[in-house]
Amino acid sequence: MRMPAVAARAPILGEELSRLSRDDHRRLEQITWILRQEVRRDPNDMTALIALTEALSLGGHLEELTACAHRAYLHLKSLPVWLQTNLLFFTVAIGAHDEANSGIEALLSRTALSLDEKSRVHTLGTAAALRFGDLGLLSKIAEISAEDSGANQSLRFIASAKLDPWWQRQQQAVEAALGRNTTHFLCTLQTDADLTTRLILHYYTDAAPFTALDRLQERVDDALERVYSGHPEGVAAILDTIIIAVHRPFIPSPESP
């Protein structure tokens, strides 16, 4: 039985990447190897290049990820919407603020998007707005999103915690503390059994050794304490509701110390 051409498999592999768990490092390595071969074979295959970008993001390969993301970004305007949103998620992940915002604003200005495309763009924009401290962008997305969207929920959380004047300063301090070390980014609102809601920003980095990870987390914690030292609610109260979690790669290598 003949295997399909690698180029034909790139979209299938891209779909598989989205279903990998944190224990699937061996399969991630296999997919990454296949996609590298395809990109070498055809450097203009944007589906394979962006799938490779995702694989590198999951595996924490910062230098190669950054190179692939910037290379694919040169073709952003010629890509279908689903590939644009995929690529921009990883542009946000590496902290490329200007490129991410420019691409997101262009997508938000489009009028002929399907419901699924709109949902993806709004999710992408919410992640970018929270990461880069852009509450103006978050408000813009909230206005055109469903009431229970991530943008609206995040905006209500920030307002109820009276963090509006602090959010941009907080994120600037976090970004400075982390430097260019992030390879994947997620944001979640979590409500515990006691009905306490927390906004959690997950930064997955290329810091494979736990010692390097601990240093990054300490730098972030110190930065947050400096930012909120003058908050009327006090540092402890704020840091109980906002969690900036610094992680190893999303799918770490089991061999890493």
Supply angle C-alpha 42, 250, 134, rounded to 5: 90
Q: What is the pLDDT of residue 89?
A: 96
Tokens of 117: 């495309």
pLDDT in tens, 36-50: 999 999 999 999 999
In this structure, which amino acid lies at residue 194?
Answer: D
Please give the full DSSP string across 56-101, using - where no structure is assigned: HHHHT-HHHHHHHHHHHHTTGGGS-HHHHHHHHHHHHHTT-HHHHH
Task: Report pLDDT for 109.
Answer: 93
Quote the pLDDT of residue 3. 42
Question: In terms of DSSP H, where are the helices of 144-230?
Answer: 150-160, 167-178, 210-228
Measure the CA–CA gap between 61 and 53, rounded to whole angstroms.
9
Q: What is the mean pLDDT of the chain?
A: 91
| Structure-token match 């980014």, residue found | 185
Domain ranges of the chain: 7-74, 78-151, 167-247
pLDDT surpassing 80 at residue 10: no
Residue 122 predicted with pLDDT over 90: yes
Give tens-digit pLDDT for 130-174: 999 999 999 999 999 999 999 999 999 999 988 999 999 999 999
Q: State residue 200 phi and psi, 5-degree precision.
A: -115, 125
Q: Does domain 167-247 have CATH number 3.30.2030?
A: no
The pLDDT value recorded for residue 41 is: 93
pTM of the model: 0.91
